[in-house]
Amino acid sequence: MERTLSIIKPDATKRNLIGKIIAKFEENNLRVVAMKKIFLSREQAEKFYEVHKERPFYPTLVEFMISGPVVVQVLEGENAVAKNRAIMGATNPAVADKGTIRAEFAESVEANSVHGSDSLENAANEIKFFFSDIEIVG
């Protein structure tokens, strides 16, 4: 069993896609063990994406992530990190596999509807970023 962090991004919350996205997780045996809808502060968005600080897209990524509410979740299941990434599809929706969240819902490489941790180690850190132990009820 693994846990991973998922974020439903502002482009998706704006278009009322929260339920459709969560259905994809549940259909693939990932369980939502923690969830909240929040507005990220600029400081939080900057800190969360700090690894991308030097990338040219960092400033617009931060603006995008604070442009509307997000839903942060802890997903639990077998191989949850890799499984979630497979369900999300490639970062760029133009090349994402058919049936993935990004192929179906994403608007662009930036407004790509979901974030998912890319390793077990990052998952643990990202989960801690948003949730305390007592908020995880799996």
- Point out the residues that are catalytic: 115
- Residue window 72-111: x/- pattern of binding to ligand CMP, with contact defined by CB under 6 A: -------------------x-----------------xx-
- Residue 35 beta carbon to ligand CMP: minimum distance, rounded to whole angstroms: 17
The position carrying tokens 């974020």 is: 7
CA distance 98 to 37: 28
CA distance 23 to 80: 15
Task: Report how many residues bind ligand CMP under the rule CB under 6 A.
Answer: 8
User: Closest by alpha carbon to 115, among 59, 42, 49, 51?
Assistant: 49
Residues linked to residue 2 through DSSP beta bridges, in sequence order: 77
- Residue window 19-38: x/- pattern of binding to ligand CMP, with contact defined by CB under 6 A: --------------------
Q: Reduced to 3 states, what is the DSSP secondary structure of residue 79? A: coil
- Residue 52 beta carbon to ligand CMP: minimum distance, rounded to whole angstroms: 6
Binding site for ligand CMP (CB under 6 A): 52, 57, 61, 91, 109-110, 112, 115
